Amino acid sequence: MRIEPIRPAGGRPAHIRHHDDLISAKSVSVTLARQLVLQNIDLSIPKGSFVSLIGPSGCGKSTLLKVLAGLVNPTSGSVSIAGLSPVEAARKRMIGLVFQEANLLPWKNAVDNASMLLGIADKSLSRADLRARGQEMLELVGLGDSAHKRPNELSGGMRQRVAIARALALDPAVLLMDEPFGALDAITRDQMGQSLLEIWQRTGKTIVLVTHSIDEAIHLSRHVHVLGIKPGRITESLDIGLPYPRDLSVTEDPEFVRLVVQLRTMLRASHQPGGAS
Amino acid sequence: MSDQPITNLSESRFASSWSQATGSWLPAVILLLATIVVWEAVVRVFAISAFIIPAPTEIAQSLVAQWATLMQATLVTAGEILFGFLVSVVVGIAIALVIVRFDWLGRALYPLVVLFQNVPKVALAPIFILWFGYGLAPKIGLILVIAFFPVTLSMLAGMQAVDRSLLSLMNSVGASPTQILFRIRVPHSLPNLMAGTKIAATLSVIGAIVGEFAGASDGLGYVIQFASTQLDTALVFAALLLVSVLGIAFYYAAEILERIVVPWAPKFSRA
């Protein structure tokens, strides 16, 4: 019966910098099939922050996210999430995952999909508890009145909202998202980004977002890490100083425009293969 | 002016769905009726002997005259098909589950199952008669060896087609292999399984008839064989007609089952 309520934002805005890092990766390298995918990654992600990983295809940003999630073991180096290994953290329901495809179960409705992972993670919860939690999460992502719809009755954006609700139902410390809006059209994508920001501010979760989109990275995150290719490594890091709460009008801010130019320059440089490995 | 095309559109959509329903059946029905008429005419005009090709009217007469015998035989064959089909589905599912759940056993079993598929199963009929006699058992055995394979194969395909990221999600919260099997893989495989089941339904009919050919004292297969030795070709055709009706009935029963079991399957999607 231990359904923890979503931590309210309270008087403490989620965007105040915390000094403790929730996630820290130290000299992480990953070799897959004799290919050096990630080289010497050092990454600190403060608790409650919104961090984006951006880079060209093949830079290993998805692999890095999988390392943080405990789905890929680093060949060398270490990752700690609140002092635990990623796998331990995942078992303690500290990690919520969202992928590009919503991967909902087509035979379950939205509310049962939203509570599906929680039901597996915590067997003590009754069906009614799970339903209540699922419903609560659907409301958080703005799908409160679609609880009984099956995935084939939902749009792509709505399915992705359910996937976010499913991750949040675990009440994780960190939300790891791998191009969650990559398959959506531009307008839906903007709306989803804005919703994600609101969810972030209401729940105070730490969010790590892998994205291809420069606009999305700047619109949403506080820190952006740029990854380069051959081998995958962090080439630059950029702090986004734009104040929260942000909405889509932030994209017209001169500072936003300046950051887009700056990030685009960094990304262009990241397309050049790195030095000797 | 501007709303007129919209009205037309919705009307034409209704009209097209109506013409689709009739339009898809009508040509087939016309062709069927035409074939029967031509058949009848050719037999009469060329005075073809009834034991070579009976006219449709003669088949109909035979059907009516032997109605009681034929119905009794149909019942026997339908029983064999149903029983054999159910056994095939259960065994087919069990083999698929074992292959997926127990990796080592699966790697031992799967090649053998595929190998066995290449054995001409019809040739097993005399052996089954030898082993199991002339009763129900050899027919069930024959249907099983003919019909389990599409069930196993389709269910395996469905269970193995689960998206890797979904498995990642499950693994990250510590789901056990058994949980992944029964919560994800099995339900995920149901649309495929139902497709395999429809194939199994058709193959079950073949299995039952082959089993009856090889040795039986009852059933439509037996009627066909007995009537052909008597040169009662009209009765052969009448029995053949009933076999076809059985086949169609089992196929559509499986199709209805599909709609009940997997209403969420992509093929039924409204989108």
Which residue in B165, B179, B270 is closest to A103 by CB distance?
B165
Q: What is the mean pLDDT of residues B167-195?
A: 92
Domain A19-94+176-188+206-277 falls in which CATH fold?
A: Rossmann fold (3.40.50)
Residues B98 and B200 in one domain: yes
Please give the structure tokens belonging to residue A255.
């500072």
Tens of pLDDT along B252-261? Answer: 999 999 999 8
Do residue B60 and residue B41 come from a single domain? no
CA closest to A156 among chain B residues = B271
**Is the domain of B190 the same as that of B154?**
yes
Instruction: Check which CATH number belongs to the domain holding B190 and give it.
Output: 1.10.3720.10
- For residue B270, the model assigns a pLDDT of 52
In this prediction, residue B21 has a pLDDT band, given cuts at 50, 70 and 90, of low
Does B267 touch chain A if contact means CB atoms closer than 8 Å? no
The model's pTM: 0.80
Residue B3's domain spans which residues? Answer: 1-47
B125 shares a domain with B64 = yes
Q: Output the pLDDT for position A228.
A: 87
| Contact call for residues A110 and A148 (beta carbons, < 8 A) | yes
Taking CA atoms, what residue in B is nearest to A149? B264
Q: What is the mean pLDDT of residues B95-121?
A: 90
Domain parsing of chain A, residue ranges: 19-94+176-188+206-277, 98-171
Helix crossing, B233-261 with B56-65: angle to 10°? 80
- Compare all CA atoms of chain B with the CA of A108 and give the residue at the minimum distance: B264
Residues of chain A with pLDDT under 50: 1-18, 276-277
The nearest alpha carbon in chain B to A98 belongs to B169
CB contact (8 A) between residue A153 and residue B270: yes
Section B142-166 average pLDDT:
93
Cross-chain Cβ contact B169/A107 below 8 Å: no
pLDDT at B96: 94
Please answer yes or no on whether B172 and A90 come within 8 Å at the CB atom: yes
Query: How many Å lie between the alpha carbon of A260 and the closest alpha carbon of chain B?
Result: 31
Is A107 within 8 Å of B173 when comparing Cβ atoms? no
Q: Which residues touch B34 (CB under 8 Å, ≥6 apart)?
A: none
| Degrees to nearest 5, angle at CA B200 with B240 and A108 | 135
Tell me: do B86 and B218 sit in the same domain: yes
Domain count, chain B: 2
| B178 and chain A in contact, CB less than 8 A | no
Asked whether residue B261 falls in the same domain as residue B129, the answer is: yes
Confidence of residue B3 (pLDDT cuts 50, 70, 90): very low
Query: Does the pLDDT at position B74 exceed 90?
Result: yes
Are the C-beta atoms of B250 and B204 separated by less than 8 Å?
yes
Q: Which residues of B touch A99 (CB under 8 A)?
A: 165, 168-169
Chain B CB within 8 Å of residue A105 CB: yes
Burial B4-41 (b: 16+ CB within 10 A, else e): eeeeeeeeeeeeeeeeeeeeeeeeeeeeeeeeeeebee
Do B168 and B210 fall within a single domain? yes
Residue A118: the pLDDT is: 93
Task: For CA atoms B19, B21, B25, B26, give the dihedral sign.
Answer: negative
Alpha-carbon distance B210 to nearest alpha carbon in chain A (angstroms)? 39
Q: How many angstroms separate the CA of residue A212 from the nearest CA in chain B?
A: 19
Res B37: pLDDT: 95
Q: Does B259 touch chain A (CB under 8 A)?
A: no
**Alpha carbons A6 and A195: distance in angstroms, whole number:** 16
Greatest pairwise CA separation for chain A in angstroms? 57
SS3 label, residue A203:
helix
Is it the case that residue B59 has pLDDT exceeding 70? yes
Residues B90 and B37 in one domain: no
CA-wise closest residue to A2 among A128, A122, A158, A163? A122
CB distance A103 to B165 below 8 Å: yes
Q: Are residues B62 and B43 in the same domain?
A: no
Assess: ipTM above 0.85.
Answer: no
Mutate which of A120, A148, A154 to disrupt the B interface (most B C-beta within 10 Å)?
A: A120
Q: How confident is the model at residue B17 (pLDDT cuts 50, 70, 90)?
A: low
Using the Cβ of A208 and the Cβ atoms of chain B, whether some distance falls under 8 Å is answered with: no
Nearest-5° Cα angle at A103, A99 to A105: 155
Name residue, tokens 């009984």: A148
Residue A199 contacts residue A7 (beta carbons within 8 Å): no
The stretch B57-75 carries a mean pLDDT of: 94
DSSP category for residue B205: H
Q: Are the CB atoms for A48 and A14 separated by under 8 Å? A: yes
Of the partner residues B172, B190, B269, the one whose CB lies closest to the CB of residue A95: B172
Mean pLDDT for the stretch of residues B225-233? 91
Q: Do A71 and B187 touch (CB under 8 A)?
A: no
Instruction: Report phi then psi at A77, rounded to 5.
Output: 90, 180
What's residue A275's pLDDT?
52
B229-251 mean pLDDT:
93
pLDDT tens-place string over residues A99-130? 999 999 999 999 999 999 999 988 899 999 99
Do B171 and B139 fall within a single domain? yes
- Closest residue in B to A169 (Cα) is B173
B50 has pLDDT over 90: no
Rounded mean pLDDT of chain B? 88
Best of A62, A71, A127, A148 to substitute, by most chain B Cβ atoms within 10 angstroms, is A71
Per-residue pLDDT at B83 exceeds 80? yes
